[in-house]
């Protein structure tokens, strides 16, 4: 569980950094949003992804 919290903290820091670096460039921010199909393709076979509504 500790590792998951650490990963979440790193993800949040990366997200904040991305927002600061591309603050005035909406187009660049949109390009950097990961595609759902790409993310689902990279999920390990043993995991069953859940969809958020």
Let me know the angle formed at the C-alpha of 51 by 47 and 53, rounded to the nearest 5 degrees.
160
Domain of residue 33 covers 2-41
Domain tally, the chain: 1
Residue 53 lies in a domain: no
Q: CA-CA distance, 6 to 51, in Å (whole number)?
A: 23
- Look at residue 15 and tell me if it is in a domain: yes
* 8-31 mean pLDDT: 88
- Which two three-digit tokens encode residue 3? 């590792």
- Residue 27 pLDDT > 70, yes or no? yes
Average pLDDT value over all residues in the chain? 77
Q: What burial letters (b/e) apply to 12-49, b meaning 16+ CB within 10 Å? A: eeeeeeeeeeeeeeeeeeeeeeeeeeeeeeeeeeeeee
Domain assignment present for residue 47? The answer is: no
Residues above pLDDT 90, as percent of the chain: 13
Token code pair at residue 14: 């990366």
């Amino acid at each position: 569980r500790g590792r998951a919290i650490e990963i979440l903290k790193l993800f949040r820091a990366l997200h904040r950094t991305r927002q600061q670096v591309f603050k005035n460039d909406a187009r660049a921010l949109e390009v950097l949003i990961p595609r759902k199909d790409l993310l689902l393709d990279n999920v390990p076979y043993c995991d069953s992804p859940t969809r958020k509504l």
